[in-house]
Amino acid sequence: MSSPNISRKRRATVIGAGPVGCLAALMLAKRGWEVSLYEGPLDPRSSLFKSTAKQRSINLAISHRGIAAMHAIDGSMAQRFMQTAIPMKGRMIHHLDGKLYSQLYDRDGQCINSIDRALLNENFLDQVSASENIRVFFRHKVQAVDFESKNITFENMNTSRNTTASFDFCVGADGSYSVVRRQLMRVVRMDYQQEYIKHEYIEFKMPASQDNEGHLNFALDPSHLHIWPRRSYMFIALPNQDHTFTCTLFAPSEELDRLDTQNIFLNWFKSNFPDALQAIGEKNLINDFTHNPRSPLICTKSNPYHYKDRAILLGDAAHSMVPFYGQGLNCGLEDVRILDVLLSQESVMSTVSERTEDREDERLMRALSRYSQERHKDLVAITELAMANYVEMRHLVTTPIYLARKALDNLLYTLSSTQYRPLSYLNMLLSTELYAENEPRGWLPLYTLVTFRPDVSYDTVRRTVARQSAILTGVGYVGAAVLLGVAGVWMSYATRSRYR
Ligand SMILES: Cc1cc2nc3c(=O)[nH]c(=O)nc-3n(C[C@H](O)[C@H](O)[C@H](O)COP(=O)(O)OP(=O)(O)OC[C@H]3O[C@@H](n4cnc5c(N)ncnc54)[C@H](O)[C@@H]3O)c2cc1C
């Protein structure tokens, strides 16, 4: 008589309890996997963490791709998280002479959302802790992974001892300096590229203002992301729910090296961002300048992202990008959605039978292989678009040629494209589909495609915009030729009439 075919739940080990690791854990748990989630530092919700960690309210802009990804895993969770966000309908450009200029993000009034990073992470951890299929281990720092024997070694910081755990599937979501990625590079012929850009960033806090009755108000309009573009550097501000703004100064390292005393910095800031200084106050500015770190900006690319049927890199562990499109996290959350859809499309099971557990799982291997193949061009596209957007944000947004091109872009958008796809519609569609559009119809501006159209892949965005851009340049040349022609005819007429 043959022995019964006993099956057990598949074991997934997720490294890194940042937003991407948490969403990946929730996705696998929802599919019925047994998930262990490991995080190096303390639980950020614990009072010990809050009393020891330097509490800064860093926020980020979350948009349709991130929201659609959260929605695909748990719709009510996505809705709850978004209640803590502040919608921003456009950029507010602050010129040096104090003039303000609002540039709306979208014809149809769609917004990006300022969200508190720490709160988002805590909300994710609450969600993860409430799941029956997930066990969370804090203070467990991954040291090494043996992908052949499927064992992982941690430094347990509670006991100062190393411990090991076995897994069927390992998800590396341990951020830009990923240990899982380094371990994977030992067994996978992975291409890897890393670049520090010449700019660094420092964070500042703009306090709430108070009216005569002591009510707190925002010092600036909270429905905008504020930008002070100053050619080679810029200052930005995003609103928080407590009426403060979190501000970030991006500047070349050489420029920051020069600002080596409080006085030099204060004078430099005063001459470049006078209205921001007024809202922040000299004392606060100097305090943040003195105490907040100068942080680097790194850009990484890897390929492939998986190994056989047993490992994958997601989020910043796979691709770090400069933050100028506000897409780093959105893209990392989208990674999870894409993996989820591929697991469904390849009918990957949440259980494994004891009889076959030593064999490679063809379905899972196919899903991971498709992930690497199909996702790579998208990740390269957004990494490069993010780099290009820095020049736009810190300089181009103020130039007449940019503004003229943008106006033409928006005009063509209004004339040619009637399709408005509300997020609720996209959310439903993207729970089961990788993307809905191969080539979007009509004319769509780059920002709209990247930010508000998660049904279009980043690579398709790049190709669509390259085509539109060639048309705009052509229109520009034709326009210039017509203008030159008109000017030429007018001058020859004027010359002839003068000598007539
Ligand atoms: C200045 C700035 C502004 C940004 N603004 C935006 C924005 O507006 N919009 C946007 O979408 N993105 C933005 N980003 C990018 C965004 O912050 C990242 O893309 C996002 O945090 C990546 O999430 P993650 O979960 O992949 O990695 P992380 O958030 O880095 O999480 C990784 C986790 O892994 C843990 N870990 C690391 N090593 C180990 C180990 N050895 N063992 C166990 N655990 C480990 C870490 O403790 C951490 O919790 C910005 C980035 C910067 C720098």
Q: Tell me the pLDDT tens digit for each residue of 176-226.
A: 999 999 999 999 999 999 999 999 999 999 999 998 888 999 999 999 999
The DSSP bridge pattern shows strands 161-166 and 151-156 to be antiparallel
Q: Closest Cα to atom 1, ligand 1: which residue?
A: 323
Global pTM reads 0.93
Q: What is the pLDDT of residues 81-103, one digit of tens each?
A: 999 999 999 999 999 999 999 99
| Mean pLDDT, range 16-38, rounded to an integer | 98
Is 18 a pocket residue for ligand 1 (Cβ < 6 Å)? yes
Q: Are 292 and 129 in contact (CB under 8 A)?
A: no
Dist CA 332 CA 21 (whole Å):
9
Ligand 1: centre distance to CA 44 (Å) = 14
Is 39 a pocket residue for ligand 1 (Cβ < 6 Å)? yes
Q: Are 409 and 472 in contact (CB under 8 A)?
A: yes
Please say if the pLDDT value at position 6 is more than 90. Answer: no
Q: What is the pLDDT of residues 451-460, one digit of tens each?
A: 999 999 999 9
Q: What percent of the chain has pLDDT over 90?
A: 77
Q: What is the pLDDT of residues 403-416, one digit of tens each?
A: 888 888 888 888 88
Q: At 500, is the pLDDT very low, low, confident or very high (cuts 50, 70, 90)?
A: very low
Ligand 1: centre distance to CA 57 (Å) = 15
User: H or E stretch including 337?
Assistant: helix 328-345
pLDDT of the residue at 499? 46
Please say if the pLDDT value at position 136 is more than 50. Answer: yes
Which residue, among 41, 35, 44, has the nearest Cα to 12 in the 3D structure?
A: 35
Please list, in sequence order, all residues whose beta carbon lies within 8 angstroms of the beta carbon of residue 9, skipping any fewer than 6 positions away.
32, 33, 34, 133, 350, 351, 352
Q: Closest Cα to atom 37, ligand 1: which residue?
A: 174
Cα–Cα–Cα angle for 388, 394, 398, rounded to 5 degrees: 110
Dist CA 351 CA 32 (whole Å):
8
Which residue, among 315, 458, 439, 444, has the nearest Cα to 384 in the 3D structure?
A: 458
Please say if the pLDDT value at position 57 is more than 70. Answer: no
Ligand 1: centre distance to CA 15 (Å) = 13
Q: Are 38 and 22 in contact (CB under 8 A)?
A: no
| The pair of three-digit structure tokens given for residue 290, joined into one six-digit string | 């003195």
Ligand 1: centre distance to CA 69 (Å) = 16
Q: Closest Cα to atom 4, ligand 1: which residue?
A: 323
Dist CA 208 CA 438 (whole Å):
45
Is 329 a pocket residue for ligand 1 (Cβ < 6 Å)? yes
Ligand 1: centre distance to CA 18 (Å) = 6
Ligand 1: centre distance to CA 467 (Å) = 33
Which residue, among 75, 302, 287, 102, has the nearest Cα to 189 in the 3D structure?
A: 302
Dist CA 270 CA 260 (whole Å):
15
Is 316 a pocket residue for ligand 1 (Cβ < 6 Å)? yes
Q: At 43, is the pLDDT very low, low, confident or very high (cuts 50, 70, 90)?
A: very high
Q: Mean pLDDT over all residues of the chain? A: 91
Cα–Cα–Cα angle for 121, 127, 129, rounded to 5 degrees: 100
